[in-house]
Amino acid sequence: MKIPEFETKRIFSKYGIKTPRGNVATTPEQAEKIASELGRPVMIKAQIPISGRAKLGAILPANTPSEAKAIAAKLLGKEIAGMRVKEILVEEKLDIQHEYYLGITIDRTARTYVAIFSPIGGTDIEEIAETHPEKIIKVHINPFIGLLPFMAKKLVRSAGLRGNDLRALPDVMIRLWKIVQDYDAELVEINPLVECDGQYVAVDARMIIDDNALFRHPEFQKFTTSEVLSEREEKARELGIPYVELDGQIAIMANGAGLAMATMDLLHLYGEKPACFLDLGGGVSSERVRQALSVVLSNPRVRVVAINILGGITSCKEVAIGISDALRKLNPKIPILIRLKGTDEEEGRKILEESGVNVILKDTMEDLIKSAISIYRGMRDDPCKRKHKSNSPRHYG
């Protein structure tokens, strides 16, 4: 479960990690009042559980209380990346001297926790890894021993930092590890942690808790509602369909969580990101396929859909009926690529070929993903179809 930024910052404060002064508002008038009480320029931050909010126009600066009110009116109720903004965080705007990245998550390959530090903050960790891989320092954590002080200092020292950095930053990392332990967290992240007038402040905060441990944290039950889910995720939950929205533009559907993950891994391998994870499950009915595809196609971010079906107890014929029904009803204008293999494969392919719906059939998973990427990149690079990209600078609060 993704914990909202404002709640994560409350937890950080409880553990002695400094955060900007501010409060949550649900109306423009509340935003104006908070900005007035802070008595300085502020940052208005939409409380939606996604990364890259600044690039999406979900984090904006305001110099006066009246400007804060106007920006709040603009953001509240707006849909950003498929999520309706119901709350905003109004925080003091800081004078930033430097930005760092600190995080603790699970390294599933190593089957343990990993602490990650970078002297470059304010940028998605994936971007740092691509452009400055040498600036990402990691140390694995034995959960039976924990993150010890010398390990945290090694992280910071390995980045070439000394002085106040070497005294303060390891302490923040140790506090993050304590939060991970106490809250059964799969991820705790500060990006950026900023140096400001000799202090270190968590400007942004992310936290994901293991769903299986929620029974130990009843205070977070309120966040299992649509407050932290997009409208499509809420709809999928009602239908009993495992569906998670991500930040790419190629939608992935498959019958089985493992196959869906493998398909997304292949997409990442060839340099693109998935728009969603959707697991149809085993023995899926045509109605479930129709409902699932309807959810995926309702996402305006999706530019291409790749459907990977490996028939076992699942009938490719049932899948094909569901796909053709959904496409006839919705008549989407985006490419739909499908791989059907296994039980009733020939019948399924025949149904799709004779249905009159516009689909592209592929024989292998690799062909499916390579073709989806090729089509997407062709659409992305076409100046007639390319979406406008904002050149506005990134802001932090």
What residues are labeled active site? 101, 189
User: Residue 197 has what pLDDT?
Assistant: 86
Do 115 and 84 belong to one domain? no
User: Residue 384 has what pLDDT?
Assistant: 58
Q: Which one is predicted more confidently, 224 or 256?
A: 256
User: Residue 1 has what pLDDT?
Assistant: 85
Do 130 and 235 belong to one domain? no
Rounded CA-CA distance 92/62 in Å is 10
Q: What is the mean pLDDT of residues 60-68?
A: 97
Q: How many domains does the chain have?
A: 3
Q: What's the pLDDT tens digit per position in 345-369?
A: 999 999 999 888 889 999 999 999 9
Which pLDDT band holds residue 167 (cuts at 50, 70, 90)?
Answer: very high
* Residue pair 250/274 in contact by the 8 Å Cβ criterion: yes
Q: What's the pLDDT tens digit per position in 274-309?
A: 999 999 998 999 999 999 999 999 998 899 999 999
Q: State the CB neighbour count (10 A cutoff) for residue 64.
A: 13
Token couple for 29: 């008038």
Residue 393 domain-assigned (yes or no):
no
Q: Which CATH number do you get for residue 140?
A: 3.30.470.20
Domain that holds residue 328: 230-381
Residues 6+ apart with CB under 8 A from 83: 48, 49, 50, 229, 230, 231
User: Residue 389 has what pLDDT?
Assistant: 38
Which pLDDT band holds residue 221 (cuts at 50, 70, 90)?
Answer: confident
Q: What is the mean pLDDT of the chain?
A: 91
What SS3 class is residue 343? coil
For residue 392, pLDDT over 50 is answered with: no
Rounded CA-CA distance 242/288 in Å is 11
Do 271 and 204 belong to one domain? no
Among 28-32, 216-220, 230-234, 315-319, the range scoring the smallest mean pLDDT is: 230-234
Among 29-33, 179-183, 224-228, 373-377, the range scoring the smallest mean pLDDT is: 224-228
pTM: 0.71
User: Residue 397 has what pLDDT?
Assistant: 38
Q: Provide the edge-to-edge strand list for the sheet that holds 88-92.
A: 22-25, 88-92, 42-46, 59-62
Nearest one of 347, 278, 358, 277 to 319, comparing CA atoms: 347
Do 234 and 377 belong to one domain? yes
Own/partner long-range contacts of 33-37 (Cβ < 8 Å, ≥24 apart): 33/65, 34/68, 34/90, 35/62, 35/64, 35/65, 35/68, 35/69, 35/90, 36/65
Do 86 and 106 belong to one domain? no
For residue 237, pLDDT over 80 is answered with: yes
